[in-house]
Amino acid sequence: MAIDLAGRTAVVTGSTQGIGLAIARRLHEAGADVVVNGRTPQRVDEVVATMGAGVRGIAADVTTPEGAATLAEEAGAVDILVNNLGIFGSTPALEITDEQWGRFLDTNVVSAARLIRLMLPGMIKRGWGRVLNIASDSAVVIPEEMIHYGASKSALLAVSRGFAKAAAGTGVTVNSVIAGPTHTEGVEGFVYELVDENLPWDEAQREFMKTARPQSLVQRLIEPEEIANMVVYLASPLASATTGGALRVDGGYVDSILP
């Protein structure tokens, strides 16, 4: 199965590190012209410099209407939108403040809906497009230590399904990718919040999976490239009949046949 995205332009939000960076790299390897996005111009420029021709950067805070408009305008005609930007963190359920609820929903849900609203009409007009929203196993299995995060990712699944209906019959597909516990720098910090911070990383990871994520069937953290592989497939013409779905790259963490 050969995936060729030559001639397509892809925007990946939050793509200066972690899963977003892995997605941007895989899309570029598949031939797409890629727009790297982050809030800090210096960091965006540093990432672009490592990726070569066919990659450009747009520094914009897409959690604001102004930043989203900047990204949409400067990106031009976009064929593939990957809403990867997201925040997470642990807070006891009864201690989550209104400000935290608002911040998680604005960042993880509203920013994605805003960019879809800006970019989907152009895809529909051109008769081809892909929208991919990076969700989480926490959307289905709500963690008691971060229900605000889980609720925001559940809402993102609903956003994806709804916009898929809005794009019905147009040649544009909209899907979610449910990412399981993934090995990123941010997650390393989260792991050490829940296990002994003096443990070496390999031991800390094993302890975290055993105590906090025992449902995982692969019994390890997922690598960002494994998430990116699913995204690239869904972004390709090969996935033309897959829309309105929530596809899992969760290492078997969610104990269900369907999401």
* pLDDT greater than 80 at residue 137: yes
Task: Please list the residues that pair with 80 across neighbouring strands.
Answer: 10, 130
Q: How far apart are CA 95 and CA 47, in angstroms?
A: 37
Domain ranges of the chain: 9-182+222-249
Residue 83 phi/psi, 5-degree rounding, is -85, 90
Q: Is the pLDDT of residue 97 over 80?
A: yes
1, amino acid identity: M
pLDDT higher than threshold 80 for residue 249: yes
**pLDDT per residue as tens digits for the range 195-221:** 999 999 989 998 999 998 899 999 889
149 is catalytic: yes
| pLDDT for 259 | 73
What is the model's pTM?
0.94
> What's the token pair of residue 259?
């999401």
Per-residue pLDDT at 225: 98
pLDDT bin (cut points 50, 70, 90) of residue 171 is very high
- Give residue 251's pLDDT: 95
In 3D, which of 159, 37, 184, 181 has the Cα closest to residue 105?
A: 159
Give the pLDDT confidence score for residue 30 in this predicted structure.
Answer: 98
* pLDDT grade for 241, boundaries at 50, 70 and 90: very high
**pLDDT score, position 250:** 96
Supply the DSSP string of the chain, one letter for each residue: -----TT-EEEETT-SSHHHHHHHHHHHHTT-EEEEEES-HHHHHHHHHTT-TTEEEEE--TTSHHHHHHHHHHH-S-SEEEE---------GGG--HHHHHHHHIIIIIHHHHHHHHHHHHHHHHT-EEEEEEEEGGGTS--TT-HHHHHHHHHHHHHHHHHHHHTTTTTEEEEEEEE-SB--HHHHHHHHHHS-TTS-HHHHHHHHHHHT-TT-SS-SPBPHHHHHHHHHHHTSGGGTT--S-EEEESTT-S-SS--
Q: Which of 149, 192, 233, 253 is catalytic?
A: 149
Q: Looking at residue 96, what is its pLDDT? A: 97
What share of the chain in percent tops pLDDT 90? 89
pLDDT of residue 188: 87
Give the residue-averaged pLDDT of 102-125: 98
How much is the pLDDT for 213? 85
Residue 184, pLDDT score: 85
**How confident is the model at residue 189, as a pLDDT?**
86
**Residue carrying structure tokens 């449902």:** 215
What is the reported pLDDT for 1? 80
Residue 210: what pLDDT? 92
Question: For residue 221, how many other CB atoms are within 10 A of its CB?
Answer: 22
Residue 39, Cβ density class (10 Å: 0-12 exposed, 13-18 middle, ≥19 buried)? middle
Residue range 25-63, pLDDT digits in tens: 999 999 999 999 999 999 999 999 999 999 999 999 999
CATH assignment, 9-182+222-249: 3.40.50.720
